[in-house]
Amino acid sequence: MPSVSEQVVGLHRQAEVITAALQEGCHVVLDGPPGTGKSTLLRAIAQASGRGMEFVEGNAELTPARLIGQHDPALVLDGGYRPEAWSDGPLATAMRAGSLLYLEELNRIPEETLNVLITAMAERELFVPRLGHVAAVDGFVLVAAMNPFDAIGTARVSQAIADRMCRVAIGYLDAHGERKVVERQTGHDGRLVEVAVAVTRGTRTHEAIRAGSSVRGAIDMVRLARGLQRVRETEPLDPDALLDAAVAALSGRIRVHEDQDRTAEEVIAALLHQALNPPGPAAGRSSAVPAGSRPAGTAP
């Protein structure tokens, strides 16, 4: 079985903290922007420890019944509220099995549903009407992931929930780490990966951009660039292909400030030009994006 370090790039200190928390029965929330490896890290830790994991995608439609479980209406009509008419949801399943319950997007879940977790975390049991008590066996731990509060669609998690969880902050990797992630995911390395990572990282610091892209943008940019190389029979670093790949991979992932007169496509083209023409001795090793180049699908 692969170790955590073999499956996850960087995040070694965070992995150690999470592993210790799970061993000690501490509930944990992983807090960080999208695309920073929160789910990958937890899955690797769970796999390495041999523990089962129930996965729940958090959203505004997650109700208490979907989380805990519910009676089957047809079976209830046929024979009443018998145990056989009940189906465990992921929370009850994890509690009975002593496994991990992983909640993605914790701060997108309605407060009514989150309140169900308080008793499960604090008392390690639930009381379900017409069913009775559901007790957690050893090994049950709640692990959640959430995006920063200012991300679109998020809300603040109540203090009652936060007070029962340890928080592990997970941020973006450095440039070297992100290049390793892209190489692993795409099977490619070299200058194309360097350029894709540089453009993607540039979206997080550019003054015109409110929200930048995660490393997923770089992964898709590399894949698209290699695909366009085959389709168009061009060179690996053909500027037009790179521009089209960058715009397709990144323009939907970034958010430009409302007061900007520049489009996402224009900002991405500028970042690509910088990545292909770095200052100093390295400037001459790649061709610049031609001034008249436009990404595919944009108006002249």
pLDDT digits (tens, 9 = 90+) for 51-97: 888 999 888 899 998 999 888 888 777 777 777 778 889 999 999 99
Residue 6 pLDDT grade (very low, low, confident, very high; cuts 50, 70, 90) = low
Residue 222 has pLDDT above 90, yes or no: yes
Residue 299 has pLDDT above 70, yes or no: no
What is d(CA 5, CA 123) in angstroms, rounded to the nearest whole number? 34
Instruction: Please check whether the domain covering 175-285 is classified as CATH 3.90.1170.20.
Output: no
User: Where in the chain are the domains?
Assistant: 4-169, 175-285
The distance from CA 202 to its chain's CA centroid, rounded to whole angstroms, is 19
pLDDT digits (tens, 9 = 90+) for 85-133: 788 899 999 999 999 999 988 888 888 888 888 888 988 988 888 878 8
Owner of token pair 């379900």 = 128
The distance from CA 213 to its chain's CA centroid, rounded to whole angstroms, is 12
Residue 44 pLDDT grade (very low, low, confident, very high; cuts 50, 70, 90) = confident
| Mean local confidence (pLDDT), 245-264 | 92
The class of domain 4-169 in CATH terms is alpha beta
Amino acid at 161: I
| Mean local confidence (pLDDT), 1-23 | 76
- pLDDT > 90 fraction of the chain, expressed in percent and rounded: 38
Quote the pLDDT of residue 47. 80
CA-CA-CA-CA torsion for 58, 61, 67, 72, nearest 10 degrees? -150
Quote the pLDDT of residue 131. 79
Is the distance from CB of 267 to CB of 253 less than 8 angstroms? no
Q: What is the pTM of this model?
A: 0.75
Residue 219 pLDDT grade (very low, low, confident, very high; cuts 50, 70, 90) = very high
Residue 262 has pLDDT above 80, yes or no: yes
| Mean local confidence (pLDDT), 207-228 | 93
Range with the lowest mean pLDDT among 112-126, 146-160, 193-207?
146-160
What is d(CA 237, CA 286) in angstroms, rounded to the nearest whole number? 8
Instruction: Share the mean pLDDT of the chain.
Output: 85
Residue 9 has pLDDT above 80, yes or no: no
